[in-house]
Amino acid sequence: MAKRKSVLIRVDASEVQGEGAFLSLRKYTWDERKALRDKMAAIPTEDIKVYVRQMTDLLEEEIRARLVEWNFVDSNDQPIPLGDIGALIDGESNFVFGKMQELIKQALGTDEAAKN
């Protein structure tokens, strides 16, 4: 009998959070990919400030929807609640956003992601 491979991507985050740090993102289904493509296509590109703000908002929305697990801690070694992007410092947030962008590119295909 067929068995689906994992729907999660586990990412080593030791470069920003230290040894043993990770995050797990849920992969896109076909319908979710189409919905994401439509959301990205709806973002206007005429005004760069509007585009950047709306694309950043979309990335935050996608991170919160796809992030299923992490073991990030704050400066006092206290766990950061899952999805609390606002608690991340620059290197950490850049890392998480970068991994989300990679997942989006993988879901849409490089050519499709580059168009938006």
pLDDT in tens, 36-50: 999 999 999 999 999
Q: How far apart are CA 21 and CA 44, in angstroms?
A: 36
Contacts of 96 (CB under 8 A, 6+ apart): 23, 63, 67, 85, 88
Model confidence pLDDT, tens digit, residues 3-59: 777 889 999 999 999 999 999 999 999 999 999 999 999 999 999 999 999 999 999
Edge-to-edge order in the sheet of strand 67-70: 8-12, 22-26, 67-70
Residue 113 has pLDDT above 60, yes or no: no
Sign of the four-CA dihedral 45, 25, 107, 38: negative
